[in-house]
Amino acid sequence: MAATRACLVALAVALAFLLLEGPTMAAALGTAGGSSEEHLRQVRSFLRRVNKAPVTSIQSPDGDIIDCVPISKQPAFDHPLLKNHTIQMQPSYHPRGDSNIAPHPITQAWHQNGKCPENTVPIRRTKEEDVLRASSVNLYGKKRPDSIPNIHPETSVTTGHEYAVASSADGQYYGTQIKVNLWKPMTETAQDFSLTQLWTVAGSYANNDLNTIEVGWQVYQSFYGDNNSRLFIYWTRDAYRTTGCYNLGCSGFVQTNNQIALGGTLSPQSVYGGSQYEICILVWKDPNTGNWWLQVGGTNVGYWPSSIFTHLKNSASYVQWGGEVFSSSAGQTSTDMGSGHFPGEGFGKASYIRNIQVVDSSNYLRQASGLGFIINPSPSCYNVQSGTSSNDWGTYIFYGGPGRNSNCP
């Protein structure tokens, strides 16, 4: 499978520090309950908490603003369990084995206008209009308690979500590594989202103690304000009930890198029938500190401290990889998953995740052979096919679909 691919994608992001915006989008204010004035006060109070004072700010052509915040002042340290946390600037150990990833720095569009200085981290600024698009301040940047494909009999919690996912069998896992090609799927409404990601999971919905670490790319207009494909992370320790958020929108993830903006735009996208562009993602548990590290394109971005979790303090029970679509509309949505084409179309046309590897208890990367489960509840809408190759694709999946079509009403 000869392919034009890049383990590096340019991240287009943003810059320039402005005062919080004035009262805009008044119509949106009335949707959150209470008076418009009261809601606006809540929004501005939230913005004062989440937007930390930067050393400098940088504006990007896509409209984002990237704030370069002192590393010790980032949102992570608002977490009550991280008040006296000592930052781990580098992982103690990287997973051993053939990662098949050449470490390259990720370049971002905002670098055209500057870079964040040492000892700062780039944070995509949350704007007033971003929060006003949410149904409430409390729900801004948070998933609802129905956001993971279940290999266990709890499928009723995934109302409105469609999946095309491969899952490992139950066991003990200490990380995973993948290469995934990037697309710009069409979403039917601004409230729909389409994403591709990995899930590292322990605990369960049944006991409301589900722990997850999630990384991938997504198109989510009502959250980001545009239909760009963006890098994202997420975590929870209580089945999405009260903990966790996208990117750095709440305390938890500790960023150590000053060049990668979580939530930033990714480019270029793959071309149907043409060049394919990839992101390389690695999540693993540092065997010395227990922290879960994130690497993107060979660059260490930061980590989730083990102390913010319960079950993931030890290991993951299973790992999943694939696509997800959400729609609040009644009936089937026409939102694309991945390229918007079915896996049977193959390389250059369908979305894929290749070189699927897991990290074992010896901190060794090994091929995720024999994927335990395939989750595709609506295969005529979105589907997934797995395989194993002897070349550099290793274990892989093709996945995705167009949603509503003649076989998927």
For residue 197, the tally of other CB atoms under 10 A from its CB is 22
Reported as a single tens digit per residue, the pLDDT across 35-93 is 688 889 999 999 999 999 999 999 998 899 999 999 999 999 999 999 989 999 999 99
Segment holding 395, helix H or strand E: strand 395-400
In the block, which residue shows the tokens 């095309």? 164
Amino acid at 102: A
The neighbouring-strand residues paired with 136 are: none
pLDDT at 3: 38
Q: What share of the chain is helix, strand, coil (3-state, %, to 5)?
A: 15, 30, 55
CA distance 317 to 211: 10
Reported as a single tens digit per residue, the pLDDT across 246-298 is 999 999 999 999 999 999 988 888 999 999 999 999 999 999 999 999 999 99
Higher pLDDT, 134 or 350: 350
Reported as a single tens digit per residue, the pLDDT across 150-163 is 654 444 445 788 99
Q: Do you know the residue count of the chain?
A: 409
Token pair for 316: 């993951």
pLDDT at 9 over 50: no
Reported as a single tens digit per residue, the pLDDT across 93-122 is 999 986 666 555 567 777 778 899 999 999
Higher pLDDT, 224 or 34: 224
| 403 within 8 A of 335, measured Cβ to Cβ | yes
The arithmetic mean of pLDDT across residues 128-152, rounded, is: 78
Residue 1's alpha-carbon distances to 179, 272, 367, in angstroms, are: 14, 16, 18
pLDDT at 155: 41
The neighbouring-strand residues paired with 401 are: 337
Q: What is this structure's pTM?
A: 0.88
Cis amide linkage into residue 268, ω under 30° from 0: yes
List active site positions.
214, 324
Residues 6 or more apart whose CB falls under 8 angstroms from that of 406 comprise none
pLDDT at 280: 94
Residues 6 or more apart whose CB falls under 8 angstroms from that of 306 comprise 285, 289, 290, 291, 292, 312, 313
Architecture of domain 70-112+147-400: Sandwich (2.60)
| 325 within 8 A of 193, measured Cβ to Cβ | yes
CA distance 285 to 364: 11
| 157 within 8 A of 261, measured Cβ to Cβ | no
For residue 80, the tally of other CB atoms under 10 A from its CB is 7
Q: What are the two backbone dihedrals, phi and then psi, of residue 15, each rounded to the nearest 5 degrees?
A: -170, 160
Domain ranges of the chain: 70-112+147-400
Angle, alpha carbons 275-177-194 (nearest 5°): 60
Residues 6 or more apart whose CB falls under 8 angstroms from that of 258 comprise 68, 71, 115, 116, 117, 118, 119, 120, 121, 122
pLDDT at 90: 97
Reported as a single tens digit per residue, the pLDDT across 345-392 is 999 999 999 999 999 999 999 999 778 788 889 999 999 999 998 788
